Chain A
Amino acid sequence: MTSNTGPNKSLPLRAKVATSVSKTAAALSRAAGRGDGSVIGGWIGLKIDPDLLSHLAAGRRVALVSGTNGKTTTTRLTAAAMGVLGDVATNSLGANMPTGHTSALARAGHTPYAVLEVDEHYLDQVITATSPHVVALLNLSRDQLDRAKEVAMMASLWRDALRGRDTHVVANADDPMVVWAARVADSVTWVASGQRWHDDSWVCPECGAHIERVDGDWYCTGCDLRRPVPQWRLDGDAVVDPFGEHHLVTLQLPGRVNRANAATALAVAAQFGVRAADAVPRLGQVTSIAGRYATAVRDERTIRLLLAKNPAGWLEAFDMAEHVPTLLSINARDPDGLDTSWLYDVDFSPLHGRPVLITGDRAMDLAVRLEVNGVSFTHVTSFARALAAIPPGRLEVIANYTAFQDIRAELDRVN
């Protein structure tokens, strides 16, 4: 392919038709107010050409981002970093299954690069379809077990997906499950991204022995699985690159976990030849992603939205949230997982001393959990009542997936 021949120009006829129909369907979906078009277009396109994703990916240099938490944000940060090189196609709306990837690539037209967020379960399939230059693996923890693969099984699927592939892996050195999966790859860059949640990685996936943790290091007590030496790490507000150079990263996104996501984004971009110093200013321009971390003002209340979909995500949210009135909202609809057992995997005691309000479909599950946790709370039956129950000033909202979407809708889909 010559340099001025974009992916679309080289598409087979069937793929061209599929791409065109896909974009039309997405536009219709948006025009009809039925959705943002990030799934329907790809769904229709794949019906016409089952290999459409491969066809659309061909000729682009692709990075994939997967993990239980942080993949939407890391995808956005990586796309921003890659922007140094040229146009980047990305599924920035969080539609992270092959239909979403297909829509994103069809919509983007021809771009030399693509950065795609991938649902953990689809990693193997999407690697096959897109032949990525780099795969970034963030973390693995329990998430909606009534339908998701259990953690060890997911690590095993990742391992199989990576074995024998001609792709570079950027992986979190602090998550034993990720390390075990990633170390079969031919070439790996390790990033010290941290791991606040340890409860899914006390048992070695290789040999079943206990994993010991000492001052940020970890090792299996029964075999050779241990924390690899990271090439990228954090030092306060700086990301340290493999040459030991410190890059001060000023993000608009809160928390240590987002600085770690920035480190991963820089490590991925470096594989494409992007210098960290060139990418860092672009990371600082990334604001909220699909409403995550968005701020809105209503009735003299400044409301910030934090999404927490699973126990590890809740721990990160408590770390980010300020000590101000806090609304917790829990649903258990299909996208959330129908099971609320995870509430007992989360220690809510960091909320001690803050005025806590609870709402959502499953507020009663949360009420019992908080009572046992010794955290005082007030139950409210709607978001409007939550606002009325606090004085003017700040409100932090921490909610799981559909509860988050409900509140975001009340705030006119704030972004």
Chain B
Amino acid sequence: MSTESVRIVWVYPDLLSTYGDRGNMLILAWRARMRGMPVETVEVRSDERLPDQGDIYLLGGGEDGPQALAAQRMTLDRGLHRALESGAALFAVCAGYQLVGSSFFAKGEMCAGLDLLDLSSDRGPTRAVGELAGTPAPDLGLPPITGFENHGGRTHLGAGVRPLARVTTGVGNDGASEGVWQGKIVGTYMHGPALARNPAIGDLLLSWATGSTMEPLDDAWPTRLRNERLAAVR
């Protein structure tokens, strides 16, 4: 962690911000501030250099063209790669999730990803749209995940990484597994403000970033929201 505050970096909101992606930055910042932790949020446009001193990096969703462009610019920039090598955390959703792998499918062709994790994505037979729920990997100590997915991709995990969850409703990676978890990186097809319904994932990222355990917050409203959404797919 940087010396003074938790630095949250939203990568390329001009390219990777399809639907409520700002929410994850707002929720992380709010959860940190509620615990008295100083927070700095940084939005880095795609024509700017990515800082390598951030604590938590966020990659959002995007359309095909911007997704491909984001991959090219991040590969040249290397800022995110350097930050992760020095121990930063990364939360990547939807198109941003596909970017962390070795390749993804956009605008009718395979594109090179950032190659941060051992996974690859291609196009599925149908578009996955709707509620997504699952049982997380036990090691993570998380409650069930709940979100909304809207993507045409399918993601294949390599031997070196683990899924975030086992799917109970929806499609996720392939109808069986959802997302990825490796080191301090979480990737998911729960799009947009995924942390609104999964504050425990937000706290996991904050604990990785700070190296300390997060004390509980009054999560009455998120808990009611979670219960409602999980009941709706039961």
Contact = CB atoms under 8 A, between A and B. Distances in A.
A340 B19 CA distance: 9
Interface stretch (B22-30, B49-57, B97-105): B22-30
Nearest to A150: B63
B224 A338 contact: no
B17 A199 contact: yes
A152 B65 contact: yes
Interface stretch (B169-177, B190-198, B208-216): B190-198
Interface string B136-155: 00000000000010100000
A7 B150 CA distance: 45
Nearest to B69: A208
A340 B26 CA distance: 16
A202 B63 CA distance: 13
A202 B48 CA distance: 14
Given A210-B47, A367-B225, A150 B22 contact: no
A152 B222 CA distance: 33
Given A146-B150, A153-B63, A203-B66, A342 B225 contact: no
A341 B221 CA distance: 16
A345 interface: yes
Contacts of A371: 30, 221
A364 B21 CA distance: 18
Interface of B: 14-15, 17-23, 26-27, 30, 45-47, 63, 65-66, 69, 129-130, 148, 150, 191-193, 196-197, 221-222, 224-225, 228
Nearest to A152: B63
**4 closest A-B pairs by CB:** A344-B23, A341-B192, A341-B20, A344-B20
A365 B196 contact: yes
B37 to A, nearest CB: 16
A284 to B, nearest CB: 38
Given A150-B63, A152-B63, A345 B221 contact: no
Contacts of A203: 14-15, 66
A142 B18 CA distance: 8
A209 B14 CA distance: 10
A36 to B, nearest CB: 30
A208 B69 CA distance: 8
A210 B19 contact: no
Contacts of B27: 372
A166 interface: no
A369 interface: yes
16 contacts: A145-B18, A146-B148, A150-B63, A199-B17, A203-B66, A221-B47, A338-B129, A339-B192, A341-B19, A343-B23, A344-B22, A345-B22, A364-B228, A368-B222, A372-B30, A372-B196
Contacts of A210: 14, 45-47
Contacts of A345: 19-20, 22
Contacts of A340: 148
A281 to B, nearest CB: 43
Contact of A368 (B15, B150, B221): B221
Contacts of B221: 364, 367-368, 371
Contacts of A344: 20-23, 26, 192-193, 196
Q: Select the residue from B20, B22, B228 with max chain A CB neighbours within 10 A.
A: B20
Given A150-B63, A368-B196, A368-B221, 13 more contacts: A199-B17, A208-B65, A341-B19, A341-B23, A343-B20, A344-B21, A344-B23, A365-B196, A365-B225, A367-B225, A369-B23, A369-B196, A371-B30
